[in-house]
């Protein structure tokens, strides 16, 4: 019998098997552009299914044949989900020419697979599993693996954080929540501009890295889920959210919770130290119309969540959207 190691692979495949086994009979199709990775992950997932689940099959579909007889596209760019067919997309690995496309959009399950020994579930369609079943543990696994080297890798963008704080109009006396603060790169600039600053993050390893960097000297650090902030209604004057919103499984629900915690007239700063196109390129993909952080989508999402979008900037060295609480 195949034994899948390390433990992280076993955790991910066990969770997926638990979610999918009750839906049998079904076929699970794994793809993502790397034939070896797809085959290996499919085998591990098959091994995780209970022996009593007979009416299912798992395949690593490596591609489909085009009119000329050559491999022309990722199978997930062609197939559609169905009640008896689950599409699993492995994000990462070698950039095969057919990996880019709509495969990730079509898939009901998306796995970050850049490190094959540390896969992390990044998306499960809500029809398969409520986010509360997987989002917190999987997101912590994703960021915990990166916490130690985070500042070393991205430390040179600290001036961009300081500029974003200035543009957000943080004032002396303001109560600021840095939601999804990570290692606390924005905290020194926020503390210099505001009254009280609270940094909140759901990954203990990230907060540990913030403490080691001494950033607990300028802000209170709190372990918290951005979807359920441990603060009173209208507690904040400003919410600073760097690299947060695009990670939330339900952006409207997440933005609504940020609005709950902000006083009327307060400010939300959605920030990233690179533009959207540059961030997408870093992850080996291109931007597509209608993504939640695009200007045409973000405005309506904010309006639905209790905010008014005031400004939107998406340039190579900064993404910054500023909104006011209704």
The domain ranges of the chain are: 7-144, 150-325
Half-sphere exposure of 54 (CA within 13 A, CB side): 1
Give the bridge partners for 110, in sequence order.
89, 123
- Residue of 204, 197, 209, 271 whose CA lies nearest to 236: 197
Is the previous residue joined to 7 through a cis bond, with omega within 30 degrees of 0?
no
CA angle in degrees (0–180, nearest 5) for 276-117-21: 90
Q: What is the pLDDT of residues 148-186, one digit of tens each?
A: 999 999 988 999 999 999 999 999 999 999 999 999 999
| Angle subtended by helix axes 251-260 and 295-304, to nearest 10 | 50
In tens digits, the chain (326 residues) has pLDDT values of 445 768 999 999 999 999 998 887 888 888 887 778 888 898 898 888 887 754 567 665 544 333 343 433 466 766 777 778 889 999 885 444 444 557 788 899 999 999 999 999 999 999 999 999 999 999 999 999 999 999 999 988 999 999 999 999 999 999 999 999 999 999 999 999 999 999 999 999 999 999 999 999 999 999 999 999 999 999 999 999 999 999 999 999 999 999 999 999 999 999 999 999 999 888 777 888 889 999 999 999 999 999 999 999 999 999 999 999 99
The answer to whether 291 and 300 are in contact (CB under 8 A) is no
**Rounded-to-integer distance, Cα 21 and Cα 128, Å:** 11
- Residue of 90, 88, 19 whose CA lies nearest to 48: 19
The answer to whether 20 and 128 are in contact (CB under 8 A) is yes
Q: Which CATH class is domain 150-325?
A: alpha beta
């Amino acid at each position: 019998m195949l034994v899948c190691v390390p433990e992280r692979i076993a955790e991910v495949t066990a969770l997926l098997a638990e979610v999918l086994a009750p839906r049998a009979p079904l076929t699970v199709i794994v793809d993502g552009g790397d034939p070896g990775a797809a085959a290996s992950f499919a085998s591990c997932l098959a091994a995780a299914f209970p022996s009593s689940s007979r009416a299912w099959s798992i395949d690593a579909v490596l591609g489909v044949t085009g009119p000329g007889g050559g491999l022309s596209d990722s199978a997930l760019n062609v197939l559609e989900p169905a009640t008896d067919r689950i599409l699993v997309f492995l994000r990462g690995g070698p950039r095969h020419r057919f990996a880019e496309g709509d495969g990730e959009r079509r898939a009901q399950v998306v796995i970050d697979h850049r490190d094959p020994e540390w896969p992390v579930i990044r998306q499960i369609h809500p029809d398969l599993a409520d986010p509360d079943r997987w989002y917190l543990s999987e997101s912590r696994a994703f960021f915990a693996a990166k916490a130690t080297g985070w500042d070393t890798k991205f430390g040179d963008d600290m001036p961009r954080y300081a500029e974003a704080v200035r543009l957000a109009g943080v004032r002396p006396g303001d109560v600021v929540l840095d939601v999804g603060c990570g290692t606390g790169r924005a905290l020194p600039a926020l503390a210099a501009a505001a009254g009280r600053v609270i940094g909140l993050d759901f990954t203990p390893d990230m907060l540990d890295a913030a403490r080691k960097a001494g950033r607990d000297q300028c802000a209170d650090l709190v372990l918290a889920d951005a979807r359920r902030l441990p603060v009173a209604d209208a507690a904040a004057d400003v919410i600073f959210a760097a690299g947060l919103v695009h990670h939330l499984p339900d952006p409207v629900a997440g933005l609504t919770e940020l609005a709950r915690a902000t006083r009327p007239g307060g400010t939300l700063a959605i920030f990233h130290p690179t533009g959207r196109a540059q961030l997408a390129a870093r992850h080996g993909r291109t931007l597509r119309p209608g993504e939640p952080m695009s200007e045409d989508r973000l405005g309506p999402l904010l309006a639905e969540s209790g905010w008014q979008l005031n400004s939107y900037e998406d340039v190579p060295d900064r993404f910054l959207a500023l909104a006011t609480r209704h």
